Amino acid sequence: MTRVWPITTVTDAARARIATARIAAAFGVPVLERTRLVAALSARLRQCLTKGGTWRLVLDTTASPAEEGLLHAVVHPSWDGEPPWRMTVHCPEAADLSGPDAVPENVGILAEALLGADEDTALVLDQLADQEELVAYHREELHQTNQGVLALHAELDAAGRAQREAFAAERAAHQEAERARRRLTFLADASAVLTASLNHDEIVRRLPDLLVPEYARSVDVWLFDAEDDRRLPGEPPLEVGTQLLGTGPDRPSPHPAAAVLAARTGRPQYAADHPGGLPGVDDRPPSATDPAGPLLHVPLPTRHAPLGVLTLSPPGASWDPDDAVMLIELTRRASIAIDNARRFEHNRDIAETLQRALLTDLPTTPGLGLAARYLPATYGLNIGGDWYDAFRQPDGSLITVIGDVTGHGLRAAVMMSQLRTALRAYAVDGGSPGQLLTRLHVFLHHLQPDLYATAVIARFHPEDPTLTWAAAGHPPPVLRTPDGRVHVLDARPGAMLGIPLKQEIADHTVRLTPGSTLALYTDGLVERRAQGIDPGIERLAAALGAFRSEELDADLAGSADRMLHPLLSDSERDDDVCLLLCHIDSRTGRPRPSAS
């Protein structure tokens, strides 16, 4: 039989004590032993309540009908590091206690039961009364040993004081450890919040939300402009072109003397009318703009020079030294996050400028409408290797191409630009789509052996209703005929461009009639990680087949937008999307504008 009682409050302790006494009585434990057990348990439970936390009393018996057993009482502590309290008594009798504990929950009834539980104590007192006469005989001896008892009491009192002091020190250490844990948790959580964004303005806006009101009454962030980054080491920041973000009605004006000093020296400054005693912080006179309250100025450090200065006013009279150390470390992490965000924004601006420069203006061709759409990935630098182009060959043919260079970022964009330029150069000499892709394959393999690309080239000739196309490792073109049927042109394509393989990429032809529409696209439009590429091609074919020839004749650009909307229902994309529509006007002979 095993019974367990959690001990958190005085009521829990009283209930556990009563239940222990009843179980001991049920197993026939003698009155004296039972009283000793209950008294010792009561003393231990009082110590548990003094220390606080949730303790557990476990009663376990090995008694059986055939032999005398043992009753074990164990009090388990609420934290690691302290051994459990144990006491064992003999059980002369066996008892069936499989039913629920009968100790009442009502406080009033519990108190009454607790008074009734002292019957064992009364029996022991009766036995002790018989010993009163014997005690009288020994009073003289006790009187003689009184001095020794007094000395023992003094020692016990000293031990009690030492124990109380130890308990107080333990509680203080526990509280300090809890404060340290809370600081570390806050620092980790705040760092995650700051590094989750790549927008430096958003990071700056998040700082006051993190620090106010627990660690600061107000927060001001002074960031230097790009012109400040050109200052010499040790030179104070410029007094122009700054950004100030503050919270609280009593924020200081920009550029207090201590803040400028923090920016110049790279060391935190504490401006107040009394020393702050903060580790690693220099004490300064109070700010002339806010002499009543102390201010902590912490530079935002980088490898070269501070990005700015973080100015804090304390939530109370001052900061705890450990809190100040934590705030300085948080400022350092915030500086890294802001610096990384600024670098990312700078690279992103370069990437977007390069991407815009590489987008092609589509030519206007009588009877043939072109519409292109390019959507960058929503992650990273928003630039990749997807590209499209359309241009005329010397014989009057119109070459349309769409491709995808592996990877993302500036390297993929630069390689895409080189492929685009090489294709235009090769096309000047003529050649079919398959021949042009073969030459691009050789060019890419020799230029960048570790970089690959896919592409589809389609050639339209104004006097020939035949479409010639070739593919190299790219998703197949989709052709809509005037009757609304859609065909996937999945004739045998070539391998990816640039792989270490000699290949001659073949041409394929298909007849075109007025009202036909050819869709060239990259895998970002149709591929989803969980589904693959084939369901996406089917969705694209269904979306293209839903249009009428008259809609495509009237507004090819708007049709491209309406086609993309259901295909890109995801709000976030990890790949670029490129779409190029080539539409033979059903009203043949009438020139159609192109849109990109």
Tens-place pLDDT, residues 237-274: 433 333 444 443 344 445 688 888 888 888 999 988 88
pLDDT of residue 141: 76
**Residues ≥6 apart with Cβ < 8 Å to 287:** 252, 256, 257, 258, 271, 295
**Is the model's pLDDT at 179 over the cut of 90?**
no
Residue 158: phi and psi, rounded to 5, are -65, -40
Question: How large is the angle between the packed helices 10-26 and 107-116, nearest 10 degrees?
Answer: 40
**Residue 354: how many other CB atoms lie within 10 Å:** 16
Confidence band, pLDDT 50/70/90 cuts, at residue 584: very high
pLDDT of residue 582: 94
Sequence-separated contacts (24+) of 13-16 with Cβ below 8 Å: 13/42, 13/45, 13/46, 13/48, 13/49, 14/110, 14/111, 14/114, 15/103, 15/110, 16/41, 16/45, 16/57
**Is the model's pLDDT at 231 over the cut of 60?**
no
DSSP bridge pairs for 366: 591
Confidence band, pLDDT 50/70/90 cuts, at residue 132: confident
- pLDDT, the chain, mean: 82
Architecture of domain 359-584: 4-Layer Sandwich (3.60)
**Is the model's pLDDT at 480 over the cut of 90?**
yes
186, two tokens: 């806050």
Of the given ranges (33-42, 228-237, 492-501), which has the lowest mean pLDDT?
228-237
> Is-above-0.85 flag for pTM?
no
Confidence band, pLDDT 50/70/90 cuts, at residue 302: confident
The pLDDT tens digits for 135-172 are: 677 777 767 788 777 888 888 889 989 998 999 889 98
**Is the model's pLDDT at 590 over the cut of 50?**
no
> d(Cα 1, Cα 285) in Å, to the nearest integer?
72
Of the given ranges (56-60, 207-211, 572-576), which has the lowest mean pLDDT?
572-576
Domains in the chain: boundaries: 2-137, 200-350, 359-584
Mean pLDDT of 84-113: 73
198, two tokens: 């790549």
Of the given ranges (118-132, 363-377, 381-395), which has the lowest mean pLDDT?
118-132
Sequence-separated contacts (24+) of 471-474 with Cβ below 8 Å: 471/437, 471/505, 472/437, 472/440, 472/441, 472/496, 472/497, 472/505, 473/497, 474/402, 474/403, 474/404, 474/522, 474/523
pLDDT of residue 153: 85
Of the given ranges (27-41, 265-279, 366-380, 457-471), which has the lowest mean pLDDT?
366-380
Confidence band, pLDDT 50/70/90 cuts, at residue 232: very low
Residue 116: phi and psi, rounded to 5, are -70, -20
**Which among 261-275, 284-298, 352-366 has the top mean pLDDT?**
261-275
CB 390 within 8 A of CB 400: yes
> d(Cα 71, Cα 87) in Å, to the nearest integer?
8
DSSP E strands in 414-496: the ranges are 453-461, 464-472, 478-480, 486-488
**Residue 595: how many other CB atoms lie within 10 Å:** 18
Question: Quick check: do 200-350 and 359-584 share a fold?
Answer: no
**Is the model's pLDDT at 398 over the cut of 60?**
yes
The pLDDT tens digits for 62-71 are: 755 555 688 8
The pLDDT tens digits for 319-334 are: 888 988 999 999 999 9
- Burial label for 414, CB within 10 Å (0-12, 13-18, 19+), is middle
CB 520 within 8 A of CB 403: no
Question: How large is the angle between the packed helices 200-211 and 321-358, nearest 10 degrees?
Answer: 160
Q: Which residue has the higher pLDDT, 126 or 489?
A: 489
**Residues ≥6 apart with Cβ < 8 Å to 137:** none
Q: What is the dihedral of CA 255, 256, 258, 262, to 10 degrees?
A: -10
Mean pLDDT of 392-411: 86
Identify the CATH homologous superfamily for domain 200-350.
GAF domain (3.30.450.40)
- Write down the residue that tokens 């919040």 correspond to: 193
Residue 309: phi and psi, rounded to 5, are -140, 135
> d(Cα 542, Cα 25) in Å, to the nearest integer?
84
Mean pLDDT of 224-232: 51
68, two tokens: 């005398």
Confidence band, pLDDT 50/70/90 cuts, at residue 399: very high
pLDDT of residue 378: 60
pLDDT of residue 199: 86
